[in-house]
Structure 1
Amino acid sequence: MTAKPLAEQAGPLREGLARYFRRRVPDPAEVDDLVQDVFARIAARDSAEPIGHLGGFVFQVAANVLADRGRRRFSRKADAHVPFEPDRHGDEDFDPYRLLAGKEDLRLAVEALLELPPRTRTIFVLHRLEGRKTREIATQLGISVSAVEKHMIRAMQHLSVIRKGRV
């Protein structure tokens, strides 16, 4: 008479595993996947050593699966993900007219930036695109904070006129 495979012996513990995961995982959709991971690990076990207490072994594997899930979620920053919302994120990403309009807007913006005097353009890029603080830009360029603010006003006025006039 042959012994049942370990995963088959652990089968009756399936419902207990599901309860274990339901109490510890907020998303009920993950429970079946986690139970399956436990059985996959048990089935992949290389050792032919007998297990003294099968229930304890299965729940130790379950604890390891849960810990691995936590590490994966942390390293992939799973809690920072935002669900896809068509109204917010748009569902026409590959609309050719939208792509063409975006490329045209970008071309006009670059053209408008290139029309600015070099120092004004540099200040605008440092502040708006690189996120530098006004005081930091003033120190870097050796000018006053007031001068940086005046360059920013000039750049914004120029870009708003260009946008209204061309787009």
Structure 2
Amino acid sequence: MPPSTPPALPLVSSLVRHYEELVDYLRRRFRSPALAREVVHDVCVNLLERPAVNDARQPLALLRRIAHDAAVDRCRAEDLRRHWVEPRAELPESACDRPGPAQHAQGQQALQRLTASIERMPCRRRQVFILHKIHEVPQADVARRMGIGLKAVERHLRLAVADCRLHGGQ
């Protein structure tokens, strides 16, 4: 007894008849011949695996809609993939931002030089620098607390920063 053949699939036979027309339709819409062929091929495979409604009044119009929707889905999936995959290529080589032993040692040395530089400053300059830069006290409040003018605070800060750059190694 010969194997049973599936009943005729009108949409598949219509797709085979209008294959090039569907490819051309998608190529014009999406400007990609490769995408057009892949999508029409996928539509054909999908119709063979899961036959659609067999009583379509306008099979070519239905096939165009199915192919168009499949192409849009593919483009959206590709955009989503690009959004998540391509930026990942720009990640740093190390997953952790913590400094290594060499960077930690360099940081400790820089901190020691900065501390020594601050300790060498004249008393008033050191006080102004610590209040403003470390304790984040506004310059006007530093001037009021220390009983000096705002211009004096600015001058002490300018000289303190220059000292730190000169002696702190920055």
TM-score range normalised by the length of the shorter chain: 0.3 to 0.5
Highest CA radius of gyration, 1 or 2?
Answer: 2
* Higher RCO structure (Cα 8 Å, ≥6 apart): 2
Normalised by the length of structure 2, the TM-score is 0.42
Normalised by the length of structure 1, the TM-score is 0.43
